[in-house]
Amino acid sequence: MSRKSQTSETHSALNSLDLGTIEFMKWLISKDTHSGDTLVVVKDYFDNKYVILFDKSMSTNVIVAYRDGMPWCITCNTDDCGHVGFAICLKQDYDRNEQVIF
C-alpha cells in the first residue's frame, strides 16, 4: 500500500527540462498562428538577465534568472524544471535572431 506523502509545493505540469523544450516548440508555432494553445506565455524577456513566464498549469508568473548565462528558476528553486528548459530555448532563439539582423 502506498500512501502519497504530503507535498506543499505548487506543481507545474512542466516538471522536466524536456517538457519545457517541447512547450517552447509549441510556443514558437503558436506565435505565428496565434492559436494561444500553449501552457506557457512569455510575458517579458530581459536579455541575459531574466525572463518572466506565465505558467497556465500553475496560474502564476514564473521568473527564470540567467546566472552567468545559465538559467535558474526562482519560482521552482531549481535548474532542471520545464521553465528552465523553456528559458534555454528562448535565449538560444533570441541570440540567433540577434546575430542575423545585419
23 contacts 82 by C-beta, under 8 angstroms: yes
Nearer to Zn ion, 30 or 65 (CB): 65
Q: Give the nearest distance from C-beta 60 to Zn ion in angstroms.
A: 10
76 contacts 13 by C-beta, under 8 angstroms: no
Query: Cell 506565455 identifies what position?
Result: 41
Q: Mask: binding to Zn ion, 48-87, rule CB under 5 A, as x and -? A: -------------------------x--x----x-x----
The DSSP secondary structure of 2-18, one letter per residue, reads --PPP--SPPPS--SHH
Nearer to Zn ion, 80 or 93 (CB): 80
Q: Give the nearest distance from C-beta 49 to Zn ion in angstroms.
A: 17
Backbone angles phi, psi at 58, to 5 degrees: -105, -10
For β-strands 40-46 and 60-67, DSSP reports them as unpaired
- Residues that contact Zn ion, how many (by CB under 5 A): 4
Q: Give the nearest distance from C-beta 76 to Zn ion in angstroms.
A: 3
Give the footprint of Zn ion on this chain (CB under 5 A).
73, 76, 81, 83
